[in-house]
Structure 1
Amino acid sequence: MRRPRLRAGHAVPAWLAAAALAAVPTWELWRERWELQYGEGSFEIHGCVGVLSGDEWPLSTLRDDLSRVVETAEGWAVPALAVLLGLLAYVRDTGREVVGRRVAGLLVVTAVVEPLVPMYTVPGGCLETIPLLSADWFRAVLGSWGSNQLCLLSAAALVYAASRTAAGEEPVAAATGTAWRRPVAALADYLVVVAALRLVVEPAWSLISSDGIWPTWFGQGLLGRLGNVLEARARPEELLALFTLLLYFWAQHTLWGRTLGKRLLRVRVVDARTGERLGAGRAALRTLAFPFLAVVPDIGLVLLLAGGLAAFLDAEGQVLHDRLLGAAVVRTRHTTGDPHAPDLP
């Protein structure tokens, strides 16, 4: 099957049209905020008692954090900015097909994830949420697909087609092949950390805490909870959670150059010049650059997303904090020709 391709003269207008389509979720979000702020979308509830959320760990934890990421990305027009950065790479002729695939993939993921993160309530109920992954939840997710998804998917199609305008050019492969492995590894590490906090740290803290049995604090998202660490109302358990999070990444990157998630996806962090593991100091700085920025109040996620967007203009697909620290995320290679040989330690 022949893949879509646009004529060279139509490429730039297609990129600009894709940017406009990708900005639709941002317009919709700010329109809703405007209506709520000025009373057009206000509502009142009288005599209603219900359960707003349940402890469906770890799905509720992931849902809460993803909702914060998606809202921040849409509020700051990250999909549209990604398209414009892709256009810049296209004009500069910097791996245009690779960049096009990255941008299109980001738009598709945003379109798919957005309907997954809201808390859907039972129709006619009283603030009772629909259980995650239930049949009613899947129906609610499918029913929430609308103009945002159509615009983002259309923008992805335009970007993909526009990135393949130069007839006769050989497809360019990603230099490191880590574009999709990095976010999947990050998701795996996230689940490992959440499990450790819930199954190990939380019970241990409940034994030494003066409050007795500690409520299921880690059943909710980490981003909002850990944001209190940098504010005056930080609690000891929040400091403990942040310490556990930082220790998880720093210790493994220092000792082995990869976390459990990276080991699963066969990638590792190395010195960009020597290919060796990072030292303890640079590993600590890299650790702080990712999870610590994410919990800075108000602007943390914005800075983190901005650093990620820099990967669209990098031939190796490296994020900003890796480039600043002289680090690189690369595929794990085998020392023998046997594809089933164990990975390097």
Structure 2
Amino acid sequence: MQDRLRAQAATLGFAAVGFADAAGDPVRKARLEEWLGEGHHGSMEWMEARKDQRADPQVLWPGAQSVIALGMAYTPSVDPLALEGDDERARISVYAQGRDYHDTVKKALKALARWLVAEAERDGLGTPELKVFVDTAPVMEKPLGQAAGLGWQGKHTNLVSRDHGSWLFLGAIYVALPFAPDQTHADRCGSCRACQDACPTDAFPAPYRIDARRCISYLTIEHHGPIPEEFREAMGNRIYGCDDCLAVCPWNKFADAAARHKAFVPRAELVAPRLAELLALDDAGFRQLFSGSPIKRIGRNRFVRNCLIAAGNSGNADLRAPVEALRSDPDPVVAEAADWAATRL
């Protein structure tokens, strides 16, 4: 059945699929506890609140026997670093330029789960219980992906695939069937430290370890309140996420944009948006522009805060007027960011 499942996963848009045992891994658990103990998760309290379930699939669901790890490609067709230093346009992370991956991946996972149940019944295996996960549950998709042979967790802590580079959205199915596990993928980073050197905010205290509190993706997406001033200049024109450590990975030379799922083709208006237009967004305009996008979840205020930091870094005098208009914004975090940007301009 596993070969048939791989083929079905491919028809549903998955570029990678592998199998792992659902039993807990003491090394995985120890690394998670060490990372949390150092406070590197920042304000993401949910990482700690359900750490035992996150570390061990069978704590989350005792019935799990196997993990099916899956990856869906979102390979960019242009250089994610191309807009670096542009004083008119903002940089949005590649993953957020298309449709919300949560919806696309989960829909495909559910379809694969329905197929799996039907096939198991046809094979006389009964009706297996299973659960599907994509990002919003306490599941360690990256180490599970490595255990299932999809790739390895690189020095930037994201999964790296020999076929798809750093560009995979990950999902998982926990199932009460004893599938034969694939071989854990070997680490192929070697002596390379390109990702470590590329980080604008020195968010990697050591290879294979990230301090989220210093990461631009965390700061622009997860962090509430003002952006700490020590990181503002380094943010440049990044307004949602950061691709730098992924984009410089040498393994990306094997990634082919033809493997990208059609849902993740970038929307033209998000590839190189003008800062002046983004600064003018009110709540209704923000919701309309980012309908169906993962960006919508951070809300207008956090998003405009990010755009103001980019404006302050731009040195572009044409942005003074929209920045000045936001100094009296009802949201105090937006107003503070506007004050900072205005002073810089």
When you count helix as a share of all residues, which structure comes out higher?
1
Point out the structure with max Rg over C-alpha.
1
Shorter-chain TM-score above 0.5 = no
Give the TM-score range, shorter chain: under 0.3
Q: TM-score, normalised by structure 1?
A: 0.22
When you count strand as a share of all residues, which structure comes out higher?
2
Q: TM-score, normalised by structure 2?
A: 0.22
